[in-house]
Chain A
Amino acid sequence: NAGVTQTPKFRVLKTGQSMTLLCAQDMNHEYMYWYRQDPGMGLRLIHYSVGEGTTAKGEVPDGYNVSRLKKQNFLLGLESAAPSQTSVYFCASSYSGTAAVTEAFFGQGTRLTVV
């Protein structure tokens, strides 16, 4: 019963390098989200997706791109990493929120350090 799985769990990047964070869910959820969590700032929404092939910007989208080519996967890309992107990244997924409470299920997080 995997739920939401994030890959990798830890990563150290040099400034200017690129990387992709992978989020996979096995619950057939329509909605998927990428958040970053920083001390004193809480969870801030980067991008989200309401279905395969559809994405939307959240609160802090600059410097990130996303893709949802398959319903179960949501990828977060950093094209040119900056120290300001050092954070813990959480992926989450939920059912469509139109008819029911949308409990979001979270992955275990990815700790990213940009030096």
Chain B
Amino acid sequence: QKEVEQDPGPLSVPEGAIVSLNCTYSNSAFQYFMWYRQYSRKGPELLMYTYSSGNKEDGRFTAQVDKSSKYISLFIRDSQPSDSATYLCAIFGFDNAGGTSYGKLTFGQGTILTVHP
């Protein structure tokens, strides 16, 4: 089982729609939860982050974390064609390999989103 699971889509919605993107994770020790956006042929860029259960809003974007269910979501309101990209959830936690604790950033598979006019 992958540590972070994300539905790869693809997801196609009309302009103005509400988009819901979701990930599940398996390790309850994970501490920080992030969403990255990746445009075609570019590296991912951080969109939002949170470290506690609940909602965090930033403009048209809302990140939601439910630690009890190990479930994270990203909602996009009033979606625009410029939102068309791959969205990747990412989780930071500590990997206790060989008795030493290392920080590690793990990504979901990414969801390809297309918003058409």
Contacts and interface: CB of A to CB of B under 8 A. Distances in A.
Tell me, yes or no, whether A binds B. Answer: yes
B103 A104 contact: no
The 10 closest A-B pairs by CB, nearest first: A106-B43, A42-B109, A43-B107, A97-B103, A42-B110, A103-B46, A101-B49, A102-B92, A56-B102, A50-B102
Interface residues of B, number: 28
A43 B35 CA distance: 13
B8 to A, nearest CB: 6
B17 interface: no
A109 to B, nearest CB: 6
Contact of A48 (B34, B42, B44, B102): B102
A103 B6 CA distance: 20
Nearest to B4: A42
B90 interface: yes
B95 interface: yes
A41 B46 CA distance: 19
A109 B40 CA distance: 11
Interface of A: 4, 31, 33, 35, 40-45, 48, 50, 56-59, 90, 92, 94, 96-98, 101-104, 106-109
B106 interface: yes
A40 B110 CA distance: 8
9 contacts: A4-B43, A42-B6, A42-B108, A43-B110, A48-B102, A56-B104, A103-B34, A104-B105, A109-B42
B88 interface: yes
Interface in B40-54: 41-46, 49, 51
Contacts of B92: 97, 101-102
Interface string B96-115: 01000011111111100000
